[in-house]
Amino acid sequence: MSNRKLIVGNWKMNGSLAGNAALIGDLLAGIGQPACDVAVCPPAVYLAQLQALLAGSAIALGAQNVSMHEGGAYTGDVSAAMLRELGVRYAIVGHSERRQYQAESDVHVALKAKLALAAGITPIVCVGETAQERQAGLTDFIVKRQLSAVIHLVGPCVSEIVVAYEPVWAIGTGQTATPEQAQAVHAVLRAQIRAATEHAARVRILYGGSMNADNAVQLLAQPDINGGLIGGASLKAPDFLKILAACASQ
Ligand code: PEP
């Protein structure tokens, strides 16, 4: 269990062998002793490279996805056991880009979370509403539906997951939820987790959606915001380091 905040960089489909080495070099040069837990999630093809670059460092390795199958005839998939062999500690599941472009359903996401847990990997379960859903007053309904599929499958093991609230309208748009808007949804998620486990307080609920060096301090100051899932700003070492530094002021 950890009360430390968790900051995770989601590199999405960005990077190159040379670029990754340079970015990690800059991060390791500037990170010192971070006041939070830190992970980066490169594209799967670079996991082995990153495992070597991050060995013995303060930065943990994460994956952007994991198969909903254990193994076998699933061309293109990467299993949780394979990720674990490469030293992967976290796996993002149910990112809105995968829900949208790869037609991942709540059930798929729950299966992925379950297999990650079984392999000793912490799933980072992403939930979030679209702009239309928010306008229609459906935010709480949507995020609770998405999380309940996972809770239904993993039961009390929900205490072992990380949740990321990522309003779809805030991802990559520069439009951030206000700290109050984010906290309100995080409180709803916390209550839902509390109904499933007595260890709800230790479940880290990250905020994601255009978090940057300027808004991180205020977002991270909210009582139920336990860290961040960072897209764009995780690709620039100075920006990512500033977000890590924001944890020190909490
Ligand atoms: C994300 O993709 O998880 C994300 C939060 O992206 P961005 O920070 O670029 O909005």
Determine the distance separating the centroid of ligand 1 and the alpha carbon of 172, expressed in angstroms.
5
The token pair that represents 163 in the structure block: 């949740």
Q: Is 152 a catalytic residue?
A: no
Asked, for residue 221, whether it belongs to a domain, the answer is yes
Asked, for residue 235, whether it belongs to a domain, the answer is yes
Mutate to test the pocket of ligand 1, among 8, 11, 12 (most ligand atoms within 8 A of CB): 12
- Whether the CB of 94 sits within 6 Å of ligand 1: no
Structure confidence by residue, pLDDT tens digits, 131-146:
999 999 999 999 999 9
pLDDT band for 3, please (50, 70, 90 cuts).
confident
DSSP 173-232: TS-PPPHHHHHHHHHHHHHHHHTT-TTGGGS-EEEESS--TTTHHHHHTSTT--EEEESG
Domain that holds residue 140: 6-247
Q: Please state, in angstroms and rounded to a whole number, the distance separating the CA atoms of residues 36 and 40.
A: 13
Residue 1 pLDDT > 70: no
Active-site hit among 97, 104, 160, 166:
166
DSSP letter (8 states) at residue 92:
E
Q: Please state, in angstroms and rounded to a whole number, the distance separating the CA atoms of residues 45 and 147.
A: 29
Q: Please state, in angstroms and rounded to a whole number, the distance separating the CA atoms of residues 231 and 27.
A: 15
Asked, for residue 25, whether it belongs to a domain, the answer is yes
Name residue 164's beta-bridge partners: 126, 206
CATH number at residue 201: 3.20.20.70
Asked, for residue 234, whether it belongs to a domain, the answer is yes
The average confidence (pLDDT) of the chain is 97
- Whether the CB of 119 sits within 6 Å of ligand 1: no
Question: What is the three-class DSSP state of 88?
Answer: strand
Provide the number of structural domains found in the chain: 1
Asked, for residue 1, whether it belongs to a domain, the answer is no
Model confidence, pTM: 0.97
- Whether the CB of 167 sits within 6 Å of ligand 1: no
Average pLDDT over residues 215-244: 97
Structure confidence by residue, pLDDT tens digits, 163-205:
999 999 999 998 999 999 999 999 999 999 999 999 999 999 9
